[in-house]
Chain A
């Protein structure tokens, strides 16, 4: 497997523009997570999906952020309109079903991240 694939790797945009980040999870993983990393806040969980259904979006900062998972192999995180404070590295990660008998349970495989700069 090629791992978790994110695009774009780098995005520079101007305030007010729409930004769409994309993620392809590992095939067979039932969970998909979107994290944001900044110096100030560290790694924060924005939203996660189980079997394409959003389970917890309490970390989404505001209505400008939205995430979708139309099928098991694709997810998007959209910011509209973008603001300079949204500048961060956005990571997508996937994992298999939790459970202590599953040796890979809850282990997150991260994508390389999308570095977003909003001017």
Chain B
């Protein structure tokens, strides 16, 4: 069975601080996909990034970076120099080759000015 654990329920930081959101996953599949989605206060769910299990390269996109480590089954998300607009619930998800995605419980990030 697929499982995603986001141990941090809530994180609060002050603007310009760096923050890392943790994600640990469990799967028996050799081919799988990892995702991060953002849910701002407006409620929509927005895709941020996808990695497949064969690609452990870390990725950076502006202030966002992702660290994928198969050895520890982790896919952590770091926001550098956080801003108030980063305040949202962030979900990590694990997808299988049948198209199905399992979500973690989410981490609520609050960035204070």
- Contact A105-B100, Cβ < 8 Å, known A89-B43, A113-B44: no
A93 to B93, CA, bound (A): 14
Determine, out of A18-26, A48-56, A63-71, the stretch whose residues face the partner at the interface: A48-56
A80 at the interface (CB under 8 A from B): no
Contact B105 A106 (CB under 8 A): no
Give CA–CA (A43, B37) in the complex, Å: 12
- Smallest CB-CB separation from B55: which chain A residue? A100
Most buried by A among B31, B46, B100: B100
Q: What CA separation (Å) do A33 and B101 show in the bound complex?
A: 10
The size of the chain A interface, using a CB distance under 8 A, is 27
Task: Please judge, given known A-B contacts A112-B43, A112-B44, whether A43 and B103 are in contact too, CB under 8 Å.
Answer: yes
In the complex, chain B residues whose CB is within 8 Å of the CB of A93? 45
Q: Which residue of B lies closest to A96 (CB)?
A: B99
CB pair B47–A98 under 8 Å, yes or no, is: no
Give which listed residue, B47, B52, B95, B106, contacts A42 with CB less than 8 A: B106
Nearest CB of chain B from residue A33's CB, rounded to whole Å: 8
A110 contact set on B, CB distance < 8 A = 44-46
Cβ contact within 8 Å between A108 and B47: yes
A8 to chain B, nearest CB (A): 15
Shortest Cβ gap from A53 to chain B (Å):
12
Least distance between A52 CB and chain B CB atoms (Å) = 14
Q: Which of A35, A100, A103, A106 contacts B35 (CB 8 A)?
A: A106
The answer to whether B47 touches A109 (Cβ under 8 A) is yes
